[in-house]
């Protein structure tokens, strides 16, 4: 599921934590954002691949 709102939430949370001096919390939030972004990328690549494969069979 493409959850851009959650991704934006983690990045904004990391920014706020960094600005308040909570570097450890900021790193954890960025790590969560990174993992979510990687999962979203994998999902998008899979959908592109499946869509491409389906397009070949339709022709």
Which alpha helices (DSSP H) does 1-59 contain, by range? Answer: 4-19, 23-58
pLDDT at residue 57 in the model: 53
pLDDT at residue 54 in the model: 58
pLDDT at residue 48 in the model: 84
- pTM equals 0.75
Q: Kindly tell me if the per-residue pLDDT of 59 is higher than 70.
A: no
Report the C-alpha gap between 11 and 4 in whole angstroms. 11
Q: At what angle do helices 4-19 and 23-58 cross, to 10 degrees?
A: 160
Residues 4-56: pLDDT tens digits?
999 999 999 999 999 999 999 999 999 999 999 999 999 888 888 777 665 55
């Amino acid at each position: 599921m493409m959850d851009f709102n959650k991704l934006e939430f983690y990045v904004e949370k990391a920014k706020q934590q960094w600005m308040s001096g909570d570097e450890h919390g900021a790193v954890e939030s960025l790590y969560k954002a990174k993992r979510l972004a990687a999962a979203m990328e994998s999902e998008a690549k899979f959908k592109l691949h499946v869509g491409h494969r389906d397009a070949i069979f339709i022709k």
